[in-house]
Amino acid sequence: MTLQEKAKAYANTIQSRYDDEDLDTINLYHECSRAYLDGAKEALAEKPMNRKLRLVVTDRCHNSCPMCCNNRFDLSALPIVEHWNYDEIMLTGGEPMLFSNKIYNLLCALRDQSQYLQSEPKLYLYTALPKMGPLYDFIDILDLLDGVVVTPHTKKDAEDFKFANAKILSLKDRFAHKSLRLNIFPEAKPYLEGIDLSMWQIKEMQWIKDCPVPEGEDLRRINNLFR
Ligand code: SF4
């Protein structure tokens, strides 16, 4: 079976499997399959492609950091993702965790299509707000990820991080194999002192003026940004 045939079969499967789900979920699954069809075409054409994708899922954020890279970009003007044929997919924003349900569904869709099509990109999430939500909290979402990069910017972010960290520490074995990275900017440092960060790979950060996309990475957005 060719990649295209596999992708078509997958699209039919999800159509029947998720008929009862809410519209957002169905749209996300369809978006994944549609994007994979395009990706399959490109793969068949053996076009060289970047292997890492930064995928913007929302332009909303609870913070308004003056040096935020997004102040320089119109995120809604980014090109739409065309395929999922990457080694790594990094979900970013804005703040993805403002839409934890949609993130959970999107990760399920990506994991699901990966298993079906035997293309298994590693999945990462960039967040300032490891929030414990009522339906799908950070811990549920972390289960679906290969890793997370948390960058608290405010006291509130740091408080959410502390809560999530305590839960991760209480479930050490479950998360020992995940890539857990904590970026610390000077403004957040005082709020993170005195806590056990033994599960985290820590990087001290400084704001940089320009925000170039690293070589070898695509920067794209999903079709309908979460809002
Ligand atoms: S938390 Fe991140 S995305 Fe939000 S404003 Fe600050 S730097 Fe930008």
- Which percentage of the chain shows pLDDT scores above 90? 48
| Among candidate residues 122, 180, 176, 130, the one with its CA nearest the CA of residue 152 | 130
94 CA to middle of ligand 1, Å? 6
Q: Is 94 in the pocket of ligand 1 (CB under 6 A)?
A: yes
Return the bridge partners of 213, or none: none
For residue 95, how far is its CA from the centre of ligand 1 (angstroms)?
7
Distance, CA of 168 to CA of 33 (rounded, Å): 33
Residue 61 alpha carbon, nearest atom of ligand 1? 4
Q: What are phi and psi of 65, to 5 degrees?
A: -65, 130
pLDDT of residue 157: 94
The rounded mean pLDDT for the chain is 84
Nearest alpha-carbon partner for 182 in 206, 159, 146, 150: 150
Q: Is any atom of ligand 1 closer than 6 Å to the C-beta of 152?
A: no
Q: Which of the four pLDDT bands, split at 50, 70 and 90, describes residue 23?
A: low
pLDDT digits (tens, 9 = 90+) for 125-148: 999 987 776 667 899 999 999 999
Q: Is residue 26 part of a domain?
A: no
Tell me if 124 is assigned to some domain.
yes
Task: Please state which of the ranges 30-39, 93-102, 212-221 shows the lowest mean pLDDT.
Answer: 30-39
Using CA of residue 14, residue 40, residue 3, residue 88, what is the dihedral sign?
Answer: negative
Gyration radius (Cα) of the chain, Å: 18
Q: Which atom of ligand 1 is nearest to the CA of 94?
A: 3
Ligand 1 pocket check: which of 95, 97, 219 to mutate, most ligand atoms within 8 Å of Cβ? Answer: 95
Ligand 1 contact, 64 CB (< 6 A): yes
Whether 17 is in a domain gets the answer: no
Distance between the two ends of the chain, CA-based, in angstroms? 38
Say if 123 falls within a structural domain: yes
Tell me the C-alpha distance between 5 and 108, whole Å: 22
| CA–centroid distance, residue 72 to ligand 1 (Å) | 12
118 strand-pairing partners: none
Whether 55 is in a domain gets the answer yes
Positive or negative CA dihedral for 193, 182, 148, 62?
Answer: positive
Query: In total, how many domains does the chain have?
Result: 1
- Quote helix, strand, coil % in the chain, to nearest 5: 40, 20, 40
Read off the pLDDT of each residue in 75-93 and give the average, rounded to a whole number. Answer: 89
In ligand 1, which atom is closest to the CA atom of 67? 7
On whether residue 116 sits in a domain, the answer given is yes
CA 37 to ligand 1 centroid distance, Å: 33
Whether residue 214 is predicted with pLDDT greater than 90 in this model: the reply is no
Judge whether 57 and 78 are in contact, CB under 8 Å. no
Nearest-CA residue for ligand 1 atom 6 is 65
Atom of ligand 1 nearest to the CA of 70: 8
218 occurs within a structural domain:
yes
Rounded to 10 degrees, the C-alpha dihedral 202/136/115/18 comes to -160
Specify whether the CB–CB gap between 59 and 225 falls below 8 A: yes
Residue 189 pLDDT exceeds 90: yes
pLDDT at 21 over 60: no
99 within some domain: yes
Residue 124's domain spans which residues? Answer: 49-226
Asked if the model's pLDDT at residue 182 lies above 70, the reply is yes
From the CB of 211, is ligand 1 less than 6 Å away? no
Q: Confidence class of residue 11 from pLDDT cuts 50, 70 and 90? A: low
Per-residue pLDDT tens for 143-170?
999 999 999 999 999 999 999 999 999 9
Residue indicated by tokens 């520490």:
169
Q: According to the model, what pLDDT value does residue 195 have?
A: 95
Rounded distance between C-alpha atoms, residue 195 and residue 114, angstroms: 37
